[in-house]
Structure formats: structure tokens, C-alpha cells
Amino acid sequence: MEVRVFLVEDLLRMRGLLDDMFASLGGIRVVAAATTEAEARLWLDENPGEWDVAVLDLVLEQGVGMNLIRHCKKVRPDGHVVVFSGFATPGVRKHCLELGADAVIDKAETASLIGLFDDLRKKVNAGP
């Protein structure tokens, strides 16, 4: 079984890099991507059961990824929310976790993101 990812990232190059990384890991598929907060909210509302993990950048073309954390948990309480941002300072990290994020990873810590997805993929494949 695949881990389905909803990606909220406004930089085309970063989306491409993440797509490549997920493809190389195997068992992970990006099901949709959004570049703005409004676009992400709309997709989440229309597809509540179509994702397992939301990967959110904090600084978007329009809007803020931080505002999406609670919305993700509202539409899919069992979904995982991962903030992947270049602004993951200790204060931002704490606030995101308080809002309901399952993990906050700085974009400089790609190995941590890979490890997190490796663990998620194993859990999904292990089944109930």
C-alpha cells in the first residue's frame, strides 16, 4: 500500500525535488499539490480521504501554511501533518506542534524527512 502525500509548496523546483525523493523511496505517491493556502483548503475540503500525509511549507505564494495545520486535522483527524520549512526555528516548531502538526522539519534536514517517511511507509505496509 502506498503512502499518499498532499504537498503544499509554492516553489516549483522544491516540488520537483520532493517528487523525485518520494519516487526514489518507493511506496510514496504525491496525489496532489497546492501553491496557495486557498488552493490547499479547497483541495482538502473536496478530498478528505484521499491523503495520508500533508507536507506543508510555511511561506506560500499567497497565505500561510501554518493556517493549514488545524484545517488538515479537521478534515482528516487521523492524517499526518508534516511542516517542511526553511523557517523551522524553535519557536515556530513549538507553535506548529501546538497547532497539531505531527512533525516540523527544517528544509536543511532532508535526512529527517526521509526517515519520517520511511517509518510511515513501514507502518502503512504493516497494516492494523
Across residues 29-34, what is the average pLDDT? Answer: 96
% the chain with pLDDT above 70: 98
* pLDDT computed for residue 128 by the predictor: 58
DSSP secondary structure string, 79-115? Answer: SEEEEEETT--HHHHHHHHHHT-SEEEETT-HHHHHH
* pLDDT computed for residue 127 by the predictor: 63
pLDDT per residue over 64-120, tens digit each?
Answer: 999 999 999 999 999 999 999 999 999 999 999 999 999 999 999 999 999 999 988
SS3 at position 124: helix
* pLDDT computed for residue 14 by the predictor: 94
CA distance 60 to 6: 15
Domain regions of the chain by residue span = 3-123
Average pLDDT of the chain to the nearest whole number: 93
pTM score, two decimals? 0.94
Please tell me the CATH code under which domain 3-123 is placed: 3.40.50.2300
